[in-house]
Structure 1
Amino acid sequence: MTEPAPGPDGRLAPQPGRWTKQSAGATFAAVAAFAVTRDATFGFFRRTLPAWAYTSTVLASLAASAVAYGLAVWWIRRLP
Protein backbone atom coordinates (compact mmCIF):
# COMPACT_ATOMS: atom_id res chain seq x y z
CA MET A 1 0.00 0.00 0.00
CA THR A 2 1.35 3.43 -0.86
CA GLU A 3 1.55 6.38 1.47
CA PRO A 4 -0.78 9.33 0.80
CA ALA A 5 0.75 12.38 -0.83
CA PRO A 6 1.10 15.53 1.27
CA GLY A 7 -1.42 18.29 0.73
CA PRO A 8 -0.63 21.83 -0.43
CA ASP A 9 0.35 22.86 3.10
CA GLY A 10 2.84 19.97 3.41
CA ARG A 11 0.73 17.96 5.86
CA LEU A 12 -0.66 14.54 5.21
CA ALA A 13 -4.43 14.32 4.80
CA PRO A 14 -6.12 12.37 7.61
CA GLN A 15 -7.10 8.83 6.73
CA PRO A 16 -10.71 7.78 7.30
CA GLY A 17 -11.13 5.83 10.51
CA ARG A 18 -7.80 6.98 12.02
CA TRP A 19 -7.20 9.24 14.99
CA THR A 20 -5.35 12.43 14.25
CA LYS A 21 -3.65 14.81 16.66
CA GLN A 22 -6.56 17.17 16.32
CA SER A 23 -9.32 14.65 16.96
CA ALA A 24 -7.54 12.91 19.85
CA GLY A 25 -6.66 16.16 21.61
CA ALA A 26 -10.08 17.68 21.06
CA THR A 27 -11.82 14.53 22.30
CA PHE A 28 -9.68 14.57 25.44
CA ALA A 29 -10.57 18.23 26.02
CA ALA A 30 -14.28 17.48 25.54
CA VAL A 31 -14.24 14.57 28.00
CA ALA A 32 -12.30 16.61 30.56
CA ALA A 33 -14.73 19.53 30.21
CA PHE A 34 -17.69 17.17 30.59
CA ALA A 35 -16.28 15.65 33.79
CA VAL A 36 -15.30 18.98 35.36
CA THR A 37 -18.61 20.62 34.52
CA ARG A 38 -20.59 17.63 35.76
CA ASP A 39 -18.78 17.67 39.10
CA ALA A 40 -19.05 21.44 39.46
CA THR A 41 -22.73 21.82 38.57
CA PHE A 42 -24.46 18.78 40.05
CA GLY A 43 -24.48 20.10 43.62
CA PHE A 44 -25.89 23.44 42.48
CA PHE A 45 -28.64 21.89 40.36
CA ARG A 46 -29.50 19.37 43.07
CA ARG A 47 -30.28 22.24 45.46
CA THR A 48 -31.98 24.59 43.00
CA LEU A 49 -33.77 22.17 40.65
CA PRO A 50 -34.14 18.86 42.51
CA ALA A 51 -36.50 17.32 39.96
CA TRP A 52 -34.29 18.28 37.02
CA ALA A 53 -30.84 17.92 38.60
CA TYR A 54 -29.59 15.09 36.38
CA THR A 55 -31.04 16.47 33.16
CA SER A 56 -29.75 19.98 33.69
CA THR A 57 -26.32 18.68 34.75
CA VAL A 58 -25.98 16.57 31.62
CA LEU A 59 -27.15 19.41 29.37
CA ALA A 60 -24.70 21.87 30.94
CA SER A 61 -21.90 19.31 30.66
CA LEU A 62 -22.68 18.59 27.01
CA ALA A 63 -22.67 22.29 26.21
CA ALA A 64 -19.31 22.73 27.93
CA SER A 65 -17.84 19.73 26.13
CA ALA A 66 -19.05 20.99 22.75
CA VAL A 67 -17.42 24.37 23.36
CA ALA A 68 -14.22 22.70 24.59
CA TYR A 69 -14.10 20.44 21.52
CA GLY A 70 -14.47 23.37 19.15
CA LEU A 71 -11.86 25.45 20.95
CA ALA A 72 -9.42 22.54 21.10
CA VAL A 73 -9.75 21.81 17.38
CA TRP A 74 -9.23 25.49 16.57
CA TRP A 75 -6.22 25.76 18.86
CA ILE A 76 -4.56 22.48 17.81
CA ARG A 77 -4.88 23.34 14.11
CA ARG A 78 -2.93 26.54 14.72
CA LEU A 79 0.03 24.62 16.17
CA PRO A 80 2.94 23.89 13.82
Structure 2
Amino acid sequence: MTEPLAPRPAAKAGRWTKQSAGATFAAAAALAFTRDVAFETFKQVLPDWAYTATTVVGLIAAAGAYCLALLWLRRLP
Protein backbone atom coordinates (compact mmCIF):
# COMPACT_ATOMS: atom_id res chain seq x y z
CA MET A 1 0.00 0.00 0.00
CA THR A 2 1.36 3.43 -0.84
CA GLU A 3 1.47 6.33 1.51
CA PRO A 4 -1.23 8.94 0.86
CA LEU A 5 1.24 11.83 1.02
CA ALA A 6 3.96 10.20 -1.07
CA PRO A 7 5.01 12.27 -4.09
CA ARG A 8 3.84 11.13 -7.50
CA PRO A 9 6.38 9.84 -9.95
CA ALA A 10 7.61 12.64 -12.18
CA ALA A 11 6.38 12.72 -15.76
CA LYS A 12 8.92 12.59 -18.54
CA ALA A 13 10.21 16.07 -19.27
CA GLY A 14 9.64 17.45 -22.73
CA ARG A 15 6.74 15.16 -23.56
CA TRP A 16 4.48 16.76 -26.16
CA THR A 17 1.19 14.94 -26.63
CA LYS A 18 -1.70 15.54 -28.99
CA GLN A 19 -3.76 16.70 -26.03
CA SER A 20 -1.26 19.29 -24.88
CA ALA A 21 -0.71 20.52 -28.44
CA GLY A 22 -4.44 20.94 -29.00
CA ALA A 23 -4.92 22.64 -25.66
CA THR A 24 -2.04 25.03 -26.40
CA PHE A 25 -3.62 25.91 -29.74
CA ALA A 26 -6.95 26.56 -27.99
CA ALA A 27 -5.20 28.82 -25.47
CA ALA A 28 -3.45 30.77 -28.21
CA ALA A 29 -6.71 31.20 -30.13
CA ALA A 30 -8.52 32.38 -27.00
CA LEU A 31 -5.71 34.82 -26.24
CA ALA A 32 -5.80 36.28 -29.76
CA PHE A 33 -9.59 36.56 -29.85
CA THR A 34 -9.82 38.06 -26.35
CA ARG A 35 -7.02 40.53 -27.04
CA ASP A 36 -8.82 42.00 -30.03
CA VAL A 37 -12.17 42.28 -28.28
CA ALA A 38 -10.93 43.38 -24.87
CA PHE A 39 -8.51 46.05 -26.06
CA GLU A 40 -11.21 47.98 -27.91
CA THR A 41 -13.42 47.87 -24.82
CA PHE A 42 -10.72 48.80 -22.32
CA LYS A 43 -9.36 51.56 -24.55
CA GLN A 44 -12.64 53.40 -24.07
CA VAL A 45 -13.41 52.42 -20.48
CA LEU A 46 -9.93 52.46 -18.89
CA PRO A 47 -7.61 54.36 -21.24
CA ASP A 48 -4.69 54.43 -18.77
CA TRP A 49 -4.94 50.72 -17.97
CA ALA A 50 -5.99 49.38 -21.37
CA TYR A 51 -2.87 47.31 -22.01
CA THR A 52 -2.65 45.90 -18.49
CA ALA A 53 -6.35 45.01 -18.32
CA THR A 54 -6.22 43.42 -21.78
CA THR A 55 -3.23 41.31 -20.80
CA VAL A 56 -4.87 40.11 -17.58
CA VAL A 57 -8.16 39.25 -19.28
CA GLY A 58 -6.33 37.51 -22.12
CA LEU A 59 -4.26 35.38 -19.76
CA ILE A 60 -7.34 34.37 -17.79
CA ALA A 61 -9.16 33.43 -21.00
CA ALA A 62 -6.14 31.49 -22.25
CA ALA A 63 -5.80 29.57 -18.98
CA GLY A 64 -9.49 28.70 -19.00
CA ALA A 65 -9.39 27.62 -22.64
CA TYR A 66 -6.31 25.46 -21.98
CA CYS A 67 -7.94 23.68 -19.06
CA LEU A 68 -11.23 23.12 -20.86
CA ALA A 69 -9.55 21.91 -24.04
CA LEU A 70 -7.29 19.55 -22.11
CA LEU A 71 -10.28 18.03 -20.29
CA TRP A 72 -12.21 17.66 -23.52
CA LEU A 73 -9.30 16.24 -25.52
CA ARG A 74 -8.48 13.64 -22.88
CA ARG A 75 -11.94 12.13 -23.31
CA LEU A 76 -11.44 11.51 -27.00
CA PRO A 77 -10.17 8.10 -28.08
- TM-score > 0.5 by shorter chain: yes
Which of 62, 67, 73 is matched with 2:64 structurally? 67
Q: Secondary structure at the match of 1:19?
A: coil
Cα distance between partner residues in 2 of 1:44 and 1:21: 35
Q: What percent of counterpart residues are identical?
A: 61
Residue 37 of structure 1 corresponds to which residue in structure 2? 34
Cα distance between partner residues in 1 of 2:51 and 2:13: 35
1:22 Cα deviation from its structure 2 partner: 0.9
The count of aligned residue pairs is 67
Tell me: higher relative CO, structure 1 or 2? Use CA pairs within 8 A at least 6 residues apart: 2
TM-score normalised by the chain length of structure 2: 0.83
Displaced runs of 4 or more, over 2 A? none
TM-score normalised by the chain length of structure 1: 0.80
RMSD: 1.1
